[in-house]
Amino acid sequence: MILDRRNKLLIGLGIVAAILIARLFVIQIIDNKYKIDASNNSMVYNTIYPTRGIMHDRNGNILVGNKVAYDILVTPREVEAFDTTAFCRILGVDRDFLETKFAEYRKYRRKIGYQSVILLKQVPTETYMRFAETAYMFPGFRGQARNIREYPFNAGGNLLGYVSEVDQSYINRHPGEYKSGDYAGMTGIEAAREADLRGEKGYSIYLRDSRNKIMTRYNDGEMDKEAVPGKDITTTIDANLQHYGQELMKNKVGSLVAIEPSTGEILTLVSSPGIDVDILADFGAHYNEVLSNPYKPMFNRAVQAPYPPGSVFKLVNGLIGLQEGVLTPASRYPCSMGYHFGKNKLGCHAHRSPLDLEESIMMSCNAYYCYVFRNILESGRNGNIAESMDKWNEYVKSFGFGRKLGSDFPAELPGFIPDSKYYDKRYRKGGWKATTVISLSIGQGEIGCTPLHLANLCATIANRGYYYIPHIVKDSKLVSIDPKYKEKVYTMVDTSYFPVVVEGMYRAVNSGYGSGATASVAEVKGLDICGKTGTAQNPRGDDNSVFICFAPKDNPKIAVAAYIEHGSFGARWAAPIASLLIEKYLNGEICPERKPLEKRVLEGDLMDKVKP
């Protein structure tokens, strides 16, 4: 072919045609951008929100249900002049609100385009009905049904958690899962089980023209997606017991945790003061109020507060002593109003002396455990003091202390159990000895346990040596739980050493007044409650009142830990509260002899003792 001018021009024609076709190839086949834009352009996805899963308690009662509320949506571009006075009256809003909203829409009109935005959230049904009757007067406005939470029991505000609209940072943290306007569980079980509860959104697709007029259903609705309702969840909570626990804890600061020892299921988990369920449904509206409350109701003390356990911790030291062979059930130690070392003394209360192990638990002798603890550290079986300290730390951690237990409850905190490194740093290497850290023997000093840890300790002793990781969601047909919640976790102390401790706890409760036992107040005829009191120093005021107990002694059904800030002696508040809870659980009611005690607890108000 000759390259004359005709052919040059034809080649040019070919090149131009090739450019056009290549460009078409890019935008029609390679680049997906335009296809996505096209469906945004012409299809309206009308979201169908699923109903959120319901939460049941262990007996099938509904703890958290759903009810319908309405959002009022507005499409600013479709709004025509309307009677604002009537509008405000019907929806119960003031003019300023409306004006600010519309000023905002004008400002962002480019961004909003033909979209609908939410003008009012969660309007009650009656208000919505009034609006719906007159909706023809307000073009551009419409209602959209939404499910919101409803709480038939006033039980477990902190535990259940709240649901609220996702914000931008939440959307960013869960890429691709949420869109603005969606709701998600933010705390408690709502958050922990969000994936099960939320369900799947559906949509119906409509086609619209460039003026946003809905033309028809796309493919006659064939491509529409039904919403999949969220899965219902069965919790381990006993709604009635939880409610009773909250009543007992009213006007006290602290926690009350009850576990079923044979399963690790949490029956009750109260953090006081807590969040009332009335607030939960519309948490956004009360958010600031809750945040500014000086008692921090959002703070879930039951799993987050690191408290010194006090004398309750003697049980752990006793068990370690037995395992280490530095203590036998028959070992007796003297006590003369305390334990004397050098010029110092760790005080104790008046009781007879010397005591054996069971008696030391029953009467909660401080000196006894100073001997035990010193022997653990100084026996030389595990090397020097530092090495013995680390061994001790290992033992304690095997009970679940000083680490997260691994419950399915979000925001659980580990607490703290010291080791030799900690003291090396604090004093200097070799600059401390057994007497320096002697308060650990009675659960004081550099030690932090959550009430959940203490309840777990109680369940471990009730089981004579093992526990199940505490959890709040039960296996059900729809939702299965992690198999780890079904495995026994053993401590490093042999199960054969537990019965003597149980015996001590039994005697602490059931020896009658005048015997020197610390927890006679917790005795309930026929229930065989075993318990241990604790009185933990609180630098901010009166001591904390602590009590753990389980019942019955054989085949225990419930293990409870009560921790009352500034509640004075363990027997003063914690023991009555814990034992009342057990009595309610096992007997269903409080026996007449204990009614006055119940009355005292229900009416007791310790709030003025607490300096927030």
**How many chain residues touch other proteins (CB under 8 A)?**
36
> Rounded to whole angstroms, what are the CA distances from 90 to 94, 147, 528?
10, 22, 62
Beta carbon of residue 209, minimum distance to other proteins (angstroms, whole number): 4
Other beta carbons within 10 Å of 366: 22
Q: Is 337 in the site for other proteins (CB under 8 A)?
A: no
Q: Please count the CA atoms within 13 angstroms of the CA of 358 that sit on its side-chain side.
A: 13
Beta carbon of residue 13, minimum distance to other proteins (angstroms, whole number): 6
Rounded Cα distance between 586 and 606, Å, is 27
Q: What is the x/- site pattern for other proteins, positions 74-113, by CB under 8 A?
A: ------------------------------------x---
Binds other proteins by CB under 8 A, chosen from 11, 38, 145, 285:
38
Applying CB under 8 A, the span of 40-48, 83-91, 253-261, 374-382 interacting with other proteins comes to 40-48
Using CB atoms within 10 Å of the CB of residue 365, give its burial: 0 to 12 exposed, 13 to 18 middle, 19+ buried.
buried
Binds other proteins by CB under 8 A, chosen from 17, 86, 195, 285:
17
Q: Is 139 in the site for other proteins (CB under 8 A)?
A: no
- Token pair 């609006």 is found at 131
- Six token digits for residue 171: 């959307």
Beta carbon of residue 39, minimum distance to other proteins (angstroms, whole number): 8
Beta carbon of residue 139, minimum distance to other proteins (angstroms, whole number): 21
Residue among 364, 356, 48 nearest 181 (CA): 48
Beta carbon of residue 6, minimum distance to other proteins (angstroms, whole number): 5
DSSP bridge pairs for 255:
271, 563
> Rounded to whole angstroms, what are the CA distances from 73 to 68, 139, 494?
16, 11, 65
Beta carbon of residue 62, minimum distance to other proteins (angstroms, whole number): 45
Binds other proteins by CB under 8 A, chosen from 11, 41, 104, 174:
41
- Residue (10 or 195) nearer to other proteins, CB: 10
Q: Are 567 and 574 in contact (CB under 8 A)?
A: yes
Beta carbon of residue 446, minimum distance to other proteins (angstroms, whole number): 55
- Residue (24 or 478) nearer to other proteins, CB: 24
Rounded Cα distance between 530 and 508, Å, is 7
Range 589-597, long-range pairs (CB < 8 A, 24+ positions): 591/524, 591/525, 594/524, 597/521
Which contiguous run of DSSP H or E holds residue 396? helix 385-398
- Six token digits for residue 38: 């096209």
Kindly state the DSSP code that residue 442 receives in the 8-state scheme. Answer: G
Beta carbon of residue 43, minimum distance to other proteins (angstroms, whole number): 7
Binds other proteins by CB under 8 A, chosen from 1, 2, 3, 6:
6
Binds other proteins by CB under 8 A, chosen from 1, 2, 3, 33:
33
Q: Which ranges constitute the DSSP H helices of 511-607?
A: 574-587, 595-603
Residues 155-214 that bind other proteins (CB under 8 A): 207-211
Beta carbon of residue 48, minimum distance to other proteins (angstroms, whole number): 22
Q: Is 19 in the site for other proteins (CB under 8 A)?
A: yes
Q: Is 250 in the site for other proteins (CB under 8 A)?
A: no
Binds other proteins by CB under 8 A, chosen from 14, 92, 124, 512:
14
- Rg of the Cα trace of the chain? 33
Q: Is 421 in the site for other proteins (CB under 8 A)?
A: no
Q: Are 68 and 147 in contact (CB under 8 A)?
A: yes
Q: Is 23 in the site for other proteins (CB under 8 A)?
A: yes
- Residue (195 or 215) nearer to other proteins, CB: 215
Q: Is the peptide bond before 76 cis (omega within 30 degrees of 0)?
A: no
What's at 126, amino acid-wise?
E
Beta carbon of residue 19, minimum distance to other proteins (angstroms, whole number): 7
What is the SS3 string spanning 426-443? Answer: HCCCCCCCHHHHHHHHHC
- Residue (32 or 85) nearer to other proteins, CB: 32
Q: Are 243 and 125 in contact (CB under 8 A)?
A: no
Which contiguous run of DSSP H or E holds residue 344? strand 344-347
Binds other proteins by CB under 8 A, chosen from 11, 27, 129, 291:
27
- Residue (207 or 586) nearer to other proteins, CB: 207
Q: Are 398 and 417 in contact (CB under 8 A)?
A: no
Q: Is 11 in the site for other proteins (CB under 8 A)?
A: no
- Residue (6 or 611) nearer to other proteins, CB: 6
- Token pair 């919403």 is found at 227
Number of helical H runs and strand E runs in the chain: 23, 19
Applying CB under 8 A, the span of 4-12, 305-313, 326-334, 364-372 interacting with other proteins comes to 4-12
Q: Is 42 in the site for other proteins (CB under 8 A)?
A: yes
Binds other proteins by CB under 8 A, chosen from 16, 86, 129, 591:
16
Q: Are 37 and 209 in contact (CB under 8 A)?
A: no
Beta carbon of residue 1, minimum distance to other proteins (angstroms, whole number): 13
Beta carbon of residue 11, minimum distance to other proteins (angstroms, whole number): 11
Q: What is the x/- site pattern for other proteins, positions 211-240, by CB under 8 A?
A: x---x-------------------------
For the beta sheet containing 530-538, the strands, ordered from the edge strand earlier in sequence to the opposite edge, are 265-272, 254-260, 558-564, 541-551, 530-538
Beta carbon of residue 113, minimum distance to other proteins (angstroms, whole number): 8
Beta carbon of residue 483, minimum distance to other proteins (angstroms, whole number): 48
Q: Are 207 and 44 in contact (CB under 8 A)?
A: yes
Q: Is 2 in the site for other proteins (CB under 8 A)?
A: no
Binds other proteins by CB under 8 A, chosen from 2, 3, 11, 43:
43
Q: Are 460 and 384 in contact (CB under 8 A)?
A: no
Applying CB under 8 A, the span of 33-41, 313-321, 333-341, 547-555 interacting with other proteins comes to 33-41
Using CB atoms within 10 Å of the CB of residue 464, give its burial: 0 to 12 exposed, 13 to 18 middle, 19+ buried.
middle
Q: Which residues sit at the interface with other proteins, rule CB under 8 A?
A: 5-6, 8-10, 12-14, 16-17, 19-21, 23-25, 27-29, 31, 33-35, 37-39, 41-43, 110, 207-211, 215
